[in-house]
Structure 1
Amino acid sequence: MRAKLIDWPTFIGALILILGVSIPLILFPEQGAEVVNIANEFMTGNFGVLYLLVGLAAFAFLLFVAFSKNGQIKLGNKDAKKEFGTFSWAAMLFAAGIGSSILYWGMIEWAYYYQGPPFGITPESKDAIEWASAYGIFHWGPIAWAIYTLPALPIAYFYYVRKKPVLKISEAARPVLGSWVDGPLGVIIDVLFMFGLMGGAGTTLALGTPMIAEGVNELTGIPITLGMKTVIMLICTLIFAVSAYSGLKRGIKVLSDINLWLAIFVLGFIFLFGPTLFISETTFSSLGIIMDNFFRMATWLEPFGNLAEFTETGFPESWTIFYWAWWVVYAPFVGLFVARISRGRTIREMILGTIIYGTLGCVLFFGIMGNFGLYLQLSGSFDVIGFMNEYGAPAAIIEILHQLPMGNIMIALFTILAVIFLATTFDSSSYILAAVVQKEVQSEPLRWNRLFWAFSLCLLPLVLMYVGDLETLQTASIVAGFPVIFIMFLLAWSFMKASNSDIQESKDYEPPTIHINRREIVERLRKRKNKDAKHSALEAMQDKEIE
């Protein structure tokens, strides 16, 4: 019975694609990396406009939906209560969408912008300082979370309003694609999503594992080796496997709550015992720079870069376009997860809550951690950039924390936080991967299914780490995720088509919330169809009599 719940074409198709890409990368790492990088450069270099358009369109579309009638639709029955409190809900969506990457980039991303600023600005100049502080917040801000939120609309709508017990990207596109999603096209859509998520997981491990290893080395003196990194991966895997096995409420929710409280403590400590005034003023000024230049930053592509009198920096391709491509690859996963945890909320609450809480969390990480590192650089207390260029970003991150009071304690807490952040992302990922390969999900995906994908998420990056090709897997997932751009448009169209149809047929409209009883609508449509059929038959009889 349980085996019948598994969507075997999607399950096997995902494994075949992942192995089909990974095995050549393992056997021929140099040639594979070259092919993947050429494909990536072609896409980011020639389709940059498309990626930036997706970001702006997603942001504008979600704001429109949030403040339209569609935004008033409640996810669930009329008397459905919110499954999770706001704190736990925000903690889970933030931990799933960001992971340990926020600890890595939040602390050190400004250093890359400072050395290679946008708009042709002189590196390490006064103007470069301002943009260095602002651009990280922009890249992890409202547009990123809008891209994440868009897939959640049709998925949550079909799961909680139309009562379809399926958590699949393909199912969410049914209003547009119809029965096509029941065939190979639906399998392809789901498999591409799963491959992108597996590649994204590999990147999260690629960033998080060396950073955790540096923290362990600093605290214990154990040398950083592949063996140490392997142990770290296995410990993280054990944590998120237990969490995923325990389920959404007993595992993922608890781990996400712990994660958020520990993050608040670490950020609060840096804010209070670091340069509080500098952090406050720089973060506030950065928000002003973003609001003043939002559309310029969201549309800048260096169109004159190839002309003799202009200097091409490659900044848009290396950062903004790459980030937008990255959010698009991860979007179906985060959308599925946000949809699953949003029962009892309105569409408007889900949209605004995800964008606001997600952006606020990223502002705090970049504003506090990033500006603390920037202060050390500008004040001459510690040469972050020089240290990073010599020893690497993970070592620089740990050394920045060393500049705090009780540095060793903060490094220990930071390392624990990185492990939990990594685990919270992966337990959410394994939960969703398990849900996608099932024909229906009444409450939780099957436990063995969750455990299988939990260990699969670790095994592939672990093997690739030994051959040094985690970055290539990341790039390959972005290349494979290119079709997801078009799936995003399909999902937006599907949601509007389905929700507008139901709103038009619904009699239970009570501002400010629309309660849609899908069963009543279907029954009403059936009666109307029967009535129309009888009417047509009567007309046919009358026509025959006239003849």
Structure 2
Amino acid sequence: MASNSSETKSNSVYIVSLVITIAVVAWGLVSPDSFGAFAKALNGGLTKYYGWGYLLTMNIFVAFCLFIGCSRFGKMRLGPEDSRPEYSNLSWVAMLFSAGMGVGLVFYGAAEPLFYFGSTPLGAEPGSIQAARDAMQITVFHWGLHPWAGYSVIALPLAYYQFRHNAPGLISTIFIPLVGEERVRGAFGKTVDILAIFATLAGLTTSLGLGTLQLNSGLKELFGIPQTTIVQLLIIAFLVFLYTGSAVLGIDKGIKFVADWNIRICFVIMAALFCVGPTLAILNSTVMSFGDYISGLIKESFMTAPYGGGYEDHLRNWTLYYWAWWIAWAPFSGSFIARISRGRTIREFIAGVLIVPALGSLTWFGIFGTSALKLELVDKINISAAVLQDISVGIFKMFLNYTGGFAMSVLMLVLIVTFFVTSANSGTYVLSMYSTEGSLNPPKSKMFVWGILMGALAMVLLLTGGLQNLQTVSLAAAMPFSLIMVCSCVAFYKVLLSEEKKAQLK
């Protein structure tokens, strides 16, 4: 009876999710104007009326992770007490970093500091040294602890339930301590799993769109290939073929292989730019950015714009978009990170998923952001104007002003592809898990279906509104899922207390 119930739930979640996704794709194709207008109205409403909610929930996630990591529960293992990690530390960090950030780091590595340098959201004089310092501080804030805390509050309880209690790898599983197993197996659990699927689709589709825009910009800068809709659709089709194929190969043969190469390529590009770029300035800027980030963390984490002003536009277009994007990525990244984290202690998990990637992001932006800003401040080469017009060109404009820039640009194109492939193949794997009652080895047929649908949705969003619609779909999916993530924190803490009590009774 239990297996029939599981199969029914799996099929219903899969079918309902498919139908709604196909309906959204069809709406965008049949009536792009009305779809675009709806997306624009939704975007404005969410940022205006729920912006405070995104800020508050993300801060809760950071506080919760730091508390759990430093608490007495830190010694508990994600699995039996005698279990040990399945993957080496390097492969583990490579996979979680690729799945957790993916193409976003590449897209914004040089462009985001340049954008703030020219637009100065904190009120500094555009083009000044203070504007450069503020630009680095804001960028590191967006890519620091907050995104990884969002992933952790999903990944940590999922890994705990899967490997310590043999629970299915479904987002609805985290609600068992709050509502009971019967409700989780019923309509409530189905609704949660369907929301998880849409949040995952939103986050991945946004990344696919960003990767496509940047690949097209790079191909234009390097080889003169025009930035057209046809070229972008062909790029999406190419990426769909790659990530779907590698997902079908599985974690060890496909996902882990690509992730390991991602890290190698990252190190090569970072080392090359560190050597040919402003090495001393990079070291100084990275240290200063770390200090600025720590000293301003609490203030920026709660900064809103209740009285309007220039910061309001920055808050809506950047910080809230990022927070929603991270929340939308949480079910997919969290599920995948949980899948590869068996045998690690809770404290080791928090250090590896929260602290190490945040330091990695700091280093990345320290190298790329400083190299870009140095061109503006010292060499008086104006590339921020181009970035304000088209943010996807930032990294390539910067590279071409350094020795070996063409070679680094070509390598960056490869990295964009491999980074996105790693994120997307992890995502199709997780979507298939959600569609098969949390199976750790989902069928390849469902990976293929989800891979194709993700590409189709990205095409529709690019055709009907470009980057704005990509941002909107993340905001829309993130709002309900942020509440699910808060419940996840409460439920997991409740389980830890219960397990501790049982251990004391023994």
Question: Normalising by structure 1, what TM-score?
Answer: 0.87
Match of 2:55 among 48, 52, 57: 52
Contact kept, 8 Å, 1:273 with 1:405, in 2: the verdict is yes
* Cα distance in 2 between the residues matched to 1:223 and 1:116: 27
User: What is the one-letter code of the residue matched to 2:446?
Assistant: N
- Kept after mapping to 2: 8 A contact 1:181/1:187: yes
Separation in 1, partners of 2:156, 2:11: 26
For residue 295 of structure 1, the aligned residue among 294, 298, 310 is 298
Query: 1:246 Cα shift?
Result: 1.2
The match for 2:399 among 392, 398, 401 is 401
8 A contact 1:100–1:418 mirrored in 2? yes
Match of 1:151, SS?
helix
Q: How many percent identity over aligned positions? A: 31
Contact 1:200/1:474, CA 8 A, preserved across alignment: no
Distance 1:425 1:36, change over 3 A: same
Is the contact made by 2:103 and 2:419 (CA closer than 8 Å) also made in structure 1?
yes
Give the drift of 1:411: 1.2
Per the alignment, residue 324 of structure 1 pairs with 323
1:410 pairs with one of 401, 408, 412: 408
Counting only pairs closer than 5 Å after superposition, residues 143-542 of structure 1 correspond to structure 2 as 143-164=146-167, 166-178=168-180, 179-305=182-308, 313-389=312-388, 392-441=390-439, 443-469=440-466, 471-506=468-503
Match of 1:132 among 127, 135, 142: 135
Distance 2:312 2:195 in 1: 32
Residue of structure 1 in register with 2:108 after alignment: 105
* Distance in 2 separating the partners of 1:313 and 1:293: 18
- 1:110 is matched by which residue type in structure 2? P
Give the Å deviation of 1:173: 1.2
Q: Bigger radius of gyration, 1 or 2?
A: 1
Alpha-carbon separation, structure 1, partners of 2:318 and 2:211:
19
Displacement of 1:31: 2.7
Code of the residue aligned with 2:65 in structure 1: it is L
Name the residue aligned to 1:33. 36
Moved more, 16-25 or 322-331: 16-25
Aligned length: 502
Distance 1:251 1:312, change over 3 A: closer
Q: State the distance in 2 between where 1:171 and 1:247 align.
A: 23
Q: Which residue of 2 aligns with 1:537?
A: none
Whichever residue aligns with residue 171 of structure 1, its letter is T
CA drift of 1:396 comes to 3.7
CA separation of 1:459 and 1:30: change in aligned 2, threshold 3 A: closer
Distance 2:272 2:411 in 1: 11
CA distance in structure 1 between the partners assigned to 2:126 and 2:394 by the alignment = 20
| Partner deviation per Cα, 1:461-499 (whole Å, 9 max, x = no partner) | 134434445632430332232111110111111111222
Assess if the C-alpha contact under 8 Å between 1:71 and 1:347 holds in 2: yes
* Contact 1:22–1:473, Cα closer than 8 Å, also in 2: no
Q: In structure 2, what residue type is equivalent to 1:14?
A: S
1:359 to partner: Cα distance: 0.6
- Aligned mates of 2:208, 2:256 — CA distance in 1: 21
1:10 and 2:13 correspond = yes
* Cα pair distance change 1:231/1:30, threshold 3 Å: closer
Distance in structure 1 (CA, Å) of the matches to 2:467 and 2:26 = 13
CA shift, 1:47, in A, is 2.3
**Does structure 1 retain, via aligned residues, the 8 Å contact 2:25–2:460?**
no
Deviation at 1:86, TM superposition (A): 0.5
1:201-229 CA-to-partner distances (Å, cap 9, x unmatched) read: 22112211122123333444443433332
2:115, 2:384 → 1: CA distance? 9
Contact 1:25/1:469 (CA < 8 Å) preserved in 2?
no
2:209–2:470: 8 Å Cα contact kept in structure 1?
Answer: no
Matched-pair contact (CA < 8 Å) for 1:203–1:471: no
Conservation of the 8 A alpha-carbon contact between 2:109 and 2:395: no
Report if aligned partners of 1:206, 1:471 keep a CA contact under 8 Å in 2.
no
Cα offset for 1:22? Answer: 3.1
Question: Which deviates further from its counterpart, 402-411 or 379-388?
Answer: 379-388
Partner Cα distance (1:25, 1:6) in 2: 29
Contact 1:7 1:439 (8 Å CA) reproduced: yes
Partner Cα distance (1:473, 1:401) in 2: 27
Do the aligned partners of residues 463 and 38 (structure 1) sit closer, same or farther apart at CA in structure 2, a change above 3 Å counting? closer
Q: How well do the aligned residues superpose, as a CA RMSD in angstroms? A: 2.2
- Are 1:121 and 2:95 counterparts? no
102-111 or 454-463, which deviates more: 454-463
Paired position in structure 2 for 1:530: none
User: What amino acid does structure 2 have at the position aligned with 1:273?
Assistant: V
